[in-house]
Amino acid sequence: MIHGFLNIDKPAGLTSHDVVARVRRIARQRRVGHAGTLDPAATGVLVLALGGATRLIEYVQETTTKHYYAVVQLGITTTTDDAEGDVLDSAPLPTLDPAALDSTLALFRGTIMQVPPMYSALHHEGQRLYELARAGVVVKRPARPVVIERLELLDWSPPLLTLDVQCSKGTYIRSLARDLGAALGCGGYLQALRRTAVGTFYVEQAIPLGDLESDPAGLTNHVLPPEQAVLDWPAITLDADETRRVRHGQPLNLAEQAGDRLRAYTPDDGALLALLVRAEGLWKPEKVFDWTTA
């Protein structure tokens, strides 16, 4: 079994689940999952985990910043807040120059409250929002805090805004496009989206899905090690006794270690053995790995 991550450059027109299904066929293994969906119309970085690396998906999802190039069309709103939906309304564009645009963009930088789109995978009373939306049901969605770390204007070619966005998990770029259009008084929707980074996974190193499908035998050449998900954690190599204790789920006394989390490696082959977290003065195994098993 293959254990590790794939940094896929997803083409437009496929769901994230479609990509997972295709990689399962290429890898000839069922244990494949994705670390955060990407809308079918969007392109760019889609992180897949294979084998035991699926146990590390949560660290990609929960702790990483995402980076996008987004194209927003002003003057039109749609049912889905992107180009896939039906037009709801249209309005003339106001007179906008880069200075006026930047003053509006400034309203969306930092921590903001954002209402998710109806066409999203969030749940409402046991149903996905997009399932309700397709049935013609619209429900109130509570606003949630998200962090827009960077929001810069790359190009203004009316009616299209091209933006550089760096944001926290849970941010909907479709909602950002919708709210930006509303703030400018003309409405707007997300015309195109490309994800250029998820944490330490960058589009420059991503492999196009088509390249994998045309050369399935070369799959392993593109697999990144499992620790790619936690490269920002400090690393430590354990001795033989510490390794034995961790494999039995026992805590370690590593008084000289600072911080509150570590990735621990074996002394013999240098393989990732465990993720350790500080608790009650000791370092306790949060996850222990055995890469020799399926």
**Which residue in the block uniquely carries the two structure tokens 């911080």?**
259
Q: Which of 73, 24, 105, 69 is nearest to 197 (CA)?
A: 69
Calpha distance 123→61 (Å, rounded) = 18
Coil, strand or helix at 216: helix
The verdict on whether 179 is a catalytic residue reads: no
Largest separation between any pair of C-alpha atoms in the chain: 71
Token pair for 285: 């195994």
**145 neighbors 171 (Cβ within 8 angstroms):** no
**251 neighbors 284 (Cβ within 8 angstroms):** yes
Coil, strand or helix at 9: strand
Q: At a CB cut-off of 8 Å and minimum separation 6, what does 202 contact?
A: 7, 45, 196
Among 9, 18, 39, 260, the active-site one is: 39
Q: At a CB cut-off of 8 Å and minimum separation 6, what does 129 contact?
A: 116, 117, 118, 119, 120, 121, 122, 123, 139, 141
Task: Point out the residues that are catalytic.
Answer: 39
